[in-house]
Structure 1
Amino acid sequence: MTDPFTLAMILIVALSIMGASIGVAMIAGSMVYLLLKGFDSSLAPETLLQGLFNSYTLLAIPLFVLAADIMNVGSLADRLLRFSQALVGRFRGGLGQVNVVSSLIFSGMSGSAVADAVGMGKIIIGMMTRDGKYSPAYAAAITAATATIGPIIPPSIPMVLYALVADQSIGYLFAAGLLPGLLMAFAMGAMNYGIARIRGFPTDERVPLRALPGITGRAIPALMLPVILLGGIYSGIMTPTESAAVAAAYALAVSVLFYRSVSGGQLYDALASSARSTAAVGVLVAGAITFNYVIARENVPDDIAAFLDRFELGRIGFLLAINLLLLALGCVLEGGAILLIVVPILIPAVQAMGIDLVHFGVIAVVNAMLGLITPPYGLLLFITGNITRQPLARIIAEIWPFILALVLALAVITFVPGFVLFLPRLLGYQG
């Protein structure tokens, strides 16, 4: 007779191939496992509900999603783009650099790569392709690539998920993502500049210096959001979950009262979109909580740790192997699934190797974000392809240089832990 765990895995894979949500597939597979093992079938929903209701941290996710959706329906994205254009549009490949900088700024507000690509992406792609300055495929590729910064610069929804499974401080994880996010932005900006020199991309219109104070002033209310959010967390005034609520309230207040750019219908659309996104994440988290119970019952993490220990890889070899594994999985799995299913299995081995869990969290999240732009699954490729109506093959051909830039940044993040942990240690982290 086939082992119940094997049958559960076969069912999960089969349902996923047939188009079912990975969360639903995990719940179904877990139920089959529990029934075949002779456990009470009510154990699965009990485990699921306890995991959801006992995690105050999870409340941050719908609130960050709502903040991003409100910013997308308002005029915050337009003002941030104009500010970025004034800063870097004058350089070679100017609108490409605007793309990088605007994603860097927006990432300090949304915490979501998808929100970045959908919100800022629609506007910047239109700017880049107007008058044929850049090909639609290149505009789509760089927009998808820069959107990966979103969950690295705090706040970060994927880091909230990692904090849940690894039992780590969200505040320290947020701090650990700041320098790596800036490094990723620099790497993509440098790659865009090099491509612009080779292909002769133009500079953008030069914004007169006298206009810069006015543009900055109009953008300041939007730019203050990450300052308020992070300042509240690191001053100890707010928890990360409370800061997510403040972020949503501030985005609404600025959009409605200051910029007056959100109608009742748009607010309803933002709330509906947030509810759908939250439900999707909730199903994924619920599936992961249930399936992780199954994994724990089967001692899979300990088996994985023992298996890796046989190879005597050493710290560098182990980190290299983990990166290759996560990059490969990113080609076929959604980032949330990697963080909620695969990463908990690896954590015992990571701890056995003496690798700091905050450092590993940044490595895991960066790998998960790279998965969003690597074929064939790359969700961000599909999003920007839908915006530009370009064949996926053309976008993939243009995105390889940016994947290379991000992999080089990942190498620094992986093998120079002091770079990642510098800010957390300044804030009192003892790891």
Structure 2
Amino acid sequence: MAASVALLLMLFFGLLLINLPISYCIGIATLATLLLNLDFDTAVSTVSQRMVGGIDSFALLAIPFFVLSGLIMGRGGIARRLIECAMALIGALPGGLALVNVVSCMLFGAISGSAVAATSAIGSFMVPQMESKGYSKDFSAAVTAAAATTGMLIPPSNILIIYAIASGGVSIAALFVAGYLPGILLGLALMLVCGGYAKAKGYPVGERLPLAQVLPKVAAALPSLLLVVVVIGGIIGGIFTATEAGAVAVIYALVLSMVFYKEVTPSQLPGILLKAVETTAIVMFLIACSSAMSWLLSFEQIPQTISQALVTLSDNPIIILLIINLVLIVVGAFLDMTPAVLIFTPIFLPVAEALGMSPLHFGIMIVLNLSIGLCSPPVGSVLFVGCAVANTTIERLLKPLLPLYLAMFLVLMLVTYVPAISEALPRLMGL
């Protein structure tokens, strides 16, 4: 077992260091490790079967639908209307534009289900806007990158669907509802930091708009926000499944963007569909390769070994959960969320359950934890998009990110040790 694990880790990190796509790193490392004990044909056949089995799930059909609906709404002027709505409501508060940035990322992330899409769509508008009002470009990009991660918790979220599969059957509807309070709490914590930072730096306060100007901007954004109500309400009410909700989201996004807002034309649809296929293929291949590695780890009894080691390390649940969180924070800095959830859920979920934590609570904890990795070097995809949008470097972005990291970590600790934050709403709704 030791030789297999050593080879798996060496190959994975070695391939990662030479900038090979992470799905190839996972797949090649898994296949090479199996070749230690199996002949070539058997190893290839086993990996292939596990890859196909990993994506043979009806629930995963929701992902391409939500990807497509997010792309359609990204092109349909949704981001601009959400920003204008947020600016009209809270732009006059201390650090107003920074707060608008956070709220806009929360709203757009919830609608699109993608932190990268939120960073790109909101950042491309808000970073220049904030810079023109005297805000630091690096601080503006840092706020966008951190705030975009709230979309991983506020539904509909693809990563929550993936966790539901990795955990062996946690209700997607319950996970979606459970993500609301932690996602909002994370957004409020980031807003608190932004307000204090802006006040300390003397950043300008926006102009308070009269109600007559606020209402039209709120009304313009309302149809976009109704998507969340339609999708989540339909799932919770049992009207349709998460997959069917994804299809409804696509139809709603098409009607909204082409008929209501009229910012997407029929000639743009082939390009949007092609991008959706490309994104879905990348995600599905990543899930397939991660499923094969997850099976290999289970075959080598790694989860059981780690579980026993953690339980014998300490009998204090607070210490064990802290260790799990610290390990996942390090993992999130090097590994994308999808493979991290698929690989580490089978390892740490049994430990968490042994400590009395529900799979629902653990799911929100691991997603929030790995969301921090999205805006952490060296692999954080949101961090790179934020740098590209603001035309800056990771080194310059890290300093304004530090207080935001601290806020995210404090929220993570609250979510970890206060189960009600994750479980109260699902329990209230009988999920």
TM-score (norm 2): 0.95
Match for 2:272 among 270, 273, 277?
270
| Equivalent in the alignment of 2:30 | 30
Distance, in Å, in 2 between the alignment partners of 1:357 and 1:142 is 31
Deviations 1:293-350 (A, max 9, x none): 2111111111111111211242111111111111122222222222121222112222
| 2:74/2:112 contact within 8 Å kept | no
| 1:171/1:233 contact within 8 Å kept | yes
Q: Secondary structure at the match of 2:150?
A: coil
Q: Secondary structure at the match of 1:204?
A: coil
Unaligned residue ranges in structure 1 (runs of 5+): none
Code of the aligned partner of 1:253: V
Per the TM alignment, residue 30 of structure 1 is displaced from its structure 2 partner at its CA by 2.3
Match for 1:247 among 246, 249, 258?
249
| Equivalent in the alignment of 1:411 | 413
| Equivalent in the alignment of 2:51 | 48
Q: Secondary structure at the match of 1:390?
A: coil
Match for 2:208 among 206, 209, 230?
206
Distance, in Å, in 1 between the alignment partners of 2:8 and 2:137 is 43
**Closer/same/farther in 2, CA of residues 213 and 141 from structure 1, 3 Å limit:** same
| Equivalent in the alignment of 1:423 | 425
Per the TM alignment, residue 111 of structure 1 is displaced from its structure 2 partner at its CA by 1.4
1:180 and 2:182 matched: yes
* The 10-residue stretch of structure 1 (81-90 or 385-394) with the greater mean CA deviation from structure 2: 385-394
* The 10-residue stretch of structure 1 (214-223 or 83-92) with the greater mean CA deviation from structure 2: 214-223
Unaligned residue ranges in structure 2 (runs of 5+): none
| Equivalent in the alignment of 2:399 | 397
| 1:148/1:369 contact within 8 Å kept | yes
| 1:89/1:206 contact within 8 Å kept | yes
**Closer/same/farther in 2, CA of residues 386 and 243 from structure 1, 3 Å limit:** same
Code of the aligned partner of 2:10: I
| 1:165/1:344 contact within 8 Å kept | yes
Code of the aligned partner of 1:393: E
Per the TM alignment, residue 203 of structure 1 is displaced from its structure 2 partner at its CA by 1.5
Per the TM alignment, residue 201 of structure 1 is displaced from its structure 2 partner at its CA by 1.1
| Equivalent in the alignment of 1:19 | 19
**Closer/same/farther in 2, CA of residues 411 and 2 from structure 1, 3 Å limit:** closer
Deviations 1:365-399 (A, max 9, x none): 01111011223333222111111111221111111
Code of the aligned partner of 1:13: F
Per the TM alignment, residue 151 of structure 1 is displaced from its structure 2 partner at its CA by 0.7
TM-score (norm 1): 0.95
What is the 5 A alignment of 1:18-417?
18-38=18-38, 40=42, 41-53=44-56, 55-130=57-132, 132-167=133-168, 168-417=170-419
Per the TM alignment, residue 5 of structure 1 is displaced from its structure 2 partner at its CA by 4.3
Distance, in Å, in 2 between the alignment partners of 1:76 and 1:276 is 22
Q: Alpha carbon RMSD of aligned pairs, Å?
A: 1.7
Per the TM alignment, residue 265 of structure 1 is displaced from its structure 2 partner at its CA by 4.3
| 1:125/1:136 contact within 8 Å kept | yes
**Closer/same/farther in 2, CA of residues 136 and 269 from structure 1, 3 Å limit:** farther
**Closer/same/farther in 2, CA of residues 391 and 29 from structure 1, 3 Å limit:** closer
Aligned length: 427
Q: Secondary structure at the match of 1:371?
A: helix
